Amino acid sequence: MAAAASPASLDSAPRIMRLVAECSRSRARAGELRLPHGLVATPVFMPVGTQATMKGITAEQLDALGCRICLGNTYHLGLRPGPELIQKAHGLHGFMNWPHNLLTDSGGFQMVSLVSLSEVTEEGVRFRSPYDGDETLLSPEKSVQIQNALGSDIIMQLDDVVSSTVTGPRVEEAMYRSIRWLDRCIAAHRRPDKQNLFAIIQGGLDADLRATCLEEMTKRDVPGFAIGGLSGGESKAQFWKMVALSTSRLPKDKPRYLMGVGYATDLVVCVALGCDMFDCVFPTRTARFGSALVPTGNLQLKKKLFEKDFGPIDPECTCPTCQKHSRAFLHALLHSDNTAALHHLTVHNIAYQLQLMSAMRASIVEKRFPEFVRNFMGTMYGDPTLCPTWATEALASVGITLD
Amino acid sequence: SLRSVSVWGVGGRVEMTVSKFMAIQQALQPDWFQCLSDGEASCEEATSMKRARKSVDRSLLFLDNCLRLQEESEVLQKSVIIGVIEGGDVMEERLRSARETAKRPVGGFLLDGFQGNPATLDTRLRLLSSVTAELPEDKPRLVSGVSRPDEVLECIERGVDLFESFFPYQVTERGCALTFSFDYQPNPEETLLQQNGTQEEIKYVDQIKKIKTTGCNQEMTSFEINLKEKKYQEDFNPLVRGCSCYCCKNHTRAYIHHLLVTNELLAGVLLMMHNFEHYFGFFHSIREALKSDRLAQLKELIHRQVP
């Protein structure tokens, strides 16, 4: 087990994040990530392209929407098409022909989502493949090895993930194991100059466990930290407290990546709490159910009330779908056997998320973030005071009031 | 019935009368529209004389009624009606349909019922020649459902100008990419490379495979490759070397294979872009060949690729 890094080596660790502006009230920050495949403005939302593709959207379309970093999934890609093939294709970038940045998660989340097919030991996670029944052991070393082959700009440690609804000694076990696995990942990482390994803070919903994890992991010399183990089935009240605790103990000069967060309200609150990076399948997934994201929530375009609505999804939105198509047209498409509507909606929903992050960033830079938050909540809930209690409390904790 | 044609749509069966049909055209305001017709004679295996005659009579009646309604419609003044030639496999009725339809002020002619399985195409090609001989030179002739490159050329030689076809989409739906060559005057190096390529494909497609697609049981042709096959797993070439479509400029066969195997939506998107571009490229080469009187060369190239 690697010894904890000394303060001196911490100071020499490469800084991939440059802070551009900070909100004087809350913990919100605007910044810039300097990654091997270009600059990424933060706060940033990263769309999830699990299997080396963004659900029907071409790389060109994604680029045109302003996306500069998206996600790939180590577990899935490790099975199909496999790291050897991807390496032959000049890495994941080459394989999918994506010129900008990629972040790969470690496969840890599948431990929770595919729990019936997995078994965790100190060695790693044993998975039974749903495709051919073969067993694979995903160890910290193996995960890093696959991610090294994929060549993504940011790679994630393999962590011992437990569902946020789990309580008891398993949570503590997973937290300590995640620290040990972090050290194993750091040791196994062959390309620290080309790929940035992020740690993932665990500890469930237990403040003490999380605090311990934060204290230990921040001693390690990594370019960035993720806040993991949240965004599962936990209550929002517990959720925000763990996020706030985490950001209060994470270094300011390194990016904070809150995993699995994607609803608009959650993004706004968590930016206020000091998070810089987010990912979530929600916008792309909900598009495939005919749901379009708008500042007031969402439009279920399959519904009859949109049959003759000839306006765009959002008149303020600059995405190609809103420039070219009406709600009525999308409604008709959703009721046909043509899958085109799903593509149009995916484009729009990604655009919505990216435009939201852009708007937040601009407000932070222009020193009007609290006002932005008030307006956002007002639009979303009809009145800022009708914002959900947990969000009001979370914002209040960092000095933003809604009335 | 005399007054209507049954049409099956998303909501079920619709009795399409002339007035209903023209009301739809008024709403759509198309540039061209195919007239309502009775194509049932063309659907059956062996058409009786009686059924063929009926299809011609009714189609002419529909045409006359539609023309009359068009005259009365301000909105449809700019739209052009395409007359439909019916008559099944009965030569006499086909000729009658052609002559009578040609007397009406239509903008062009759709020759219905020439789609179908390749086995019957021979007899139909003879009908086709006779029919187009009766039609004016200065109006376009359309055929639907004929799409295999070799069949397209046969129809063009017999006077057809436009092809409405589903083919690139069908190819996409079965996870395939059009790869046949239509470059009848390539440079010598390319010839060698392509010949090697086409020999390979022909050798492979000795057993014709039946691949189920959405609702239509279509056989894969020798003009395409099936990207689901394992041999493309590590093939980092584009679908077709030299193709300038988005897919070929940006992606590899290996990537498409991966997308198909993982059931990703992007597979269809990329294949569709390629298949359209390839097919349009084929038609471009036909036009060029006709202009420079080299159709025979193109035809020979295409026939080399039929098993």
Distance to chain A for B267, nearest Cα, Å: 8
Q: From the list A56, A335, A336, which residue is nearest B266 (CB)? A: A56
**Do A260 and A230 form a contact (C-beta atoms < 8 A)?**
yes
* Residue that the structure tokens 């086709």 belong to: B128
Q: What is the mean pLDDT of residues B140-151?
A: 91
- pLDDT above 90 as % of chain B: 67
Chain A positions touching B253 (Cβ under 8 A) are none
Specify the CATH architecture of the domain B13-164.
Alpha-Beta Barrel (3.20)
- Do both A159 and A199 map to the same domain? yes
Q: Is residue A384 part of a domain?
A: no
- Do both A70 and A208 map to the same domain? yes
Domains in chain A: how many in total?
2
- Do both A102 and A28 map to the same domain? yes
pLDDT digits (tens, 9 = 90+) for B1-36: 567 888 877 778 888 899 999 999 999 999 999 999
The DSSP H or E segment spanning A392 is helix A389-397
- Residue B97's identity, in one-letter code, is S
- Do both A254 and A351 map to the same domain? no
pLDDT at residue B208, as a whole number: 39
Q: From the list B214, B234, B262, which residue is nearest A88 (CB)? A: B234
Q: Is residue A38 part of a domain?
A: yes
- Do both A75 and A191 map to the same domain? yes
pLDDT at residue A17, as a whole number: 97
Running along chain A, 403 residues long, what does each successive block of 10 average in pLDDT? 42 80 97 98 95 89 97 88 94 96 89 74 86 84 96 96 89 97 97 96 96 98 96 92 98 97 97 98 94 97 97 98 98 91 96 98 98 97 92 97 88
Residues of A with CB under 8 A from a CB of B: 51-60, 76, 80-81, 85, 88-89, 95-97, 335-337, 339, 342-343
The encoded tokens of residue B80 equal: 């052009």
- Residue B306 scores a pLDDT above 90: no
Cα distance between residue A50 and residue A65, in whole Å: 19
Q: Is residue A125 part of a domain?
A: yes
Name the 3-class secondary structure at B4: strand
Residue range(s) defining the domain that contains residue A205: 17-279
- Do both A269 and A209 map to the same domain? yes
- Do both A146 and A92 map to the same domain? yes
Task: Give the least confident one: A8-12, B100-104, B245-249.
Answer: A8-12
Q: Where in chain B is the domain with CATH 3.20.20.105?
A: 13-164
Cα distance between residue B15 and residue B6, in whole Å: 5
Question: Measured between alpha carbons, how far is residue A304 from residues A82, A295, A299, A335 in Å?
Answer: 45, 21, 11, 10
**Do A194 and A259 form a contact (C-beta atoms < 8 A)?**
no
pLDDT at residue B109, as a whole number: 98
- Residue B203 scores a pLDDT above 50: no
- Do both A26 and A86 map to the same domain? yes
pLDDT at residue A69, as a whole number: 97
Q: From the list B236, B262, B269, which residue is nearest A58 (CB)? A: B269
pLDDT at residue B196, as a whole number: 53
Across the interface, do A335 and B10 touch by the CB < 8 Å criterion? yes
**Do A209 and A246 form a contact (C-beta atoms < 8 A)?**
no
- Do both A292 and A274 map to the same domain? no
Q: What is the mean pLDDT of residues B75-92?
A: 94
Using CB atoms within 10 A of its CB, is residue A52 exposed (0-12), middle (13-18) or buried (19+)? buried
- Do both A94 and A204 map to the same domain? yes
Q: Is the peptide bond before B188 cis (omega within 30 degrees of 0)?
A: no
Q: Which of A54, A55, A77, A85 to mutate to test the interface with B (most CBs of B within 10 A)?
A: A85
Which of A248, A279, A310 is the endpoint of a domain?
A279
Name the 3-class secondary structure at B81: strand
Question: Measured between alpha carbons, how far is residue A152 from residues A355, B210, B300 in Å?
Answer: 24, 40, 49
**Do A28 and A272 form a contact (C-beta atoms < 8 A)?**
yes
Q: Is residue A78 part of a domain?
A: yes
Across the interface, do A51 and B258 touch by the CB < 8 Å criterion? yes
Which of A235, A260, A279 is the endpoint of a domain?
A279
CA angle B43, B48, B53 (to 5 degrees): 90
Which of A249, A279, A309 is the endpoint of a domain?
A279
- Do both A229 and A329 map to the same domain? no
Chain A positions touching B9 (Cβ under 8 A) are none
Per this entry, what is the length of chain B? 307
Closest CA to B24 of B70, B91, B93: B70
Higher pLDDT, B95 or B144: B95
Residue B155 marked in a binding site = no
Distance to chain A for B270, nearest Cα, Å: 8
pLDDT at residue A233, as a whole number: 85
Q: From the list A76, A95, A336, which residue is nearest B255 (CB)? A: A95
- Do both A249 and A358 map to the same domain? no
Distance to chain B for A26, nearest Cα, Å: 41
Q: What share of chain B is helix, strand, coil (3-state, %, to 5)?
A: 50, 15, 35
Q: Which of B261, B265, B270 to mutate to test the interface with A (most CBs of A within 10 A)?
A: B265
Q: What is the mean pLDDT of chain B?
A: 87
**Do A298 and A380 form a contact (C-beta atoms < 8 A)?**
no
Using CB atoms within 10 A of its CB, is residue A181 exposed (0-12), middle (13-18) or buried (19+)? buried
Q: Is residue A7 part of a domain?
A: no
Q: What is the mean pLDDT of residues B257-280?
A: 96
Closest CA to A173 of A215, A213, A114: A213
Task: Give the least confident one: A384-398, B203-217, B231-245.
Answer: B203-217
pTM metric for this prediction: 0.90
